Structure 1
Amino acid sequence: MTDSRPADEDDVDADARALASTLRLRILRLCLDEPMTNREIATRLDRNPATVLHHVRTLADRGFLAAQPVRRGARGSREVPYLATRKSWRTPGDPSSSRILIDTFLEEVALVDPSDVVATRLGLRLDAVGHAELVERVQAVFEDFAARSPTPGGVAYSLFYALHEDVTRGPSAQ
């Protein structure tokens, strides 16, 4: 049986599968500002280098990581550092991607001192126009900061945003 889906749809599915892993999303974050070798990534994430290599290769094959010029390691071994291409920022998520993003956020924030986390939770009641305005304005802020070059010597931050219907509050009484 032949798959009748267009090739670009297959690419979208392959990209979604590549991003459907908390470990892969964490690898992309590590390689965002500086190229890192598989060994460096594995050490930073306290994971087996062979496992990490599988994930690095998947990300590189899909264009989420780009190999940088080969360098020599401490014992003269040949090492390939990888740098995130920022393709994941431009890749549309599938319906299950929100859960992966939340799980990745939870893994990362568990490593941080709770006093260093700035968190806000806000309940709103908006019509369709207000909801669209909120989404557009927040997305514009994200786009602005995503387009900026990293500040040399700056502190690395992670930002997570989620907007969802509050089904427990029910419809408005008015």
Structure 2
Amino acid sequence: MSLAKSTLVPRPSPLVIQAQIYAKLLNPPKPARPVAKSSISWAPPETKPATRALQSHVKVAPKKALPNFKVHATSVFARQPEKSMALISQPGQGMAWIRPGDTLGHLKVMQIRKDAVVYEFEESIGEVAWTPSVTPAPPRPKRASSAMDTDVPPSPPTSESWPAVPMNPRTNRLAVAQSQSNHAALPRPARGGR
């Protein structure tokens, strides 16, 4: 009895992936050397009639699909992966939240992980890693200024805005005494009416 060999490629552990990402942050790849524009020239290749005949019979392998989106954030639900979401941006379309099963042009989103979005194109599988945003956060709006922040003194309370008697008369006996004296100063209607 022979055991069939697994065709699955072992995936590195999440710790190894994070270490590789961190290593790229610490040691970014060196930029390419600049080339003088005068040294770049393009000339169409010469083709012979025999190679033209061969070109018509040769099958060209399809190009590998390149994703045209960036991953800005992910929200992963380990127990319910179908609820996982990723915030992506596409050129000319802005930002959008996607879920597994969504299609982005010719790519189908297969899985959303903590550090990447896994997609499928025809029979090949690829992933787009999460990239930290390099744009600064927008400035916070200024908070509404209060009377304490300005040099203008607050306006005194008016009789319309404050009740004459406080809600609990025990808290301010002076206010109760003043309100009673104000009522005593008001003219009273005459009794009897004769």
TM-score (norm 1): 0.22
TM-score by length of 2: 0.20
Pair member with larger Rg:
2
Q: Which structure features the higher share of helix residues?
A: 1
The structure with the greater share of residues assigned to strand is 2
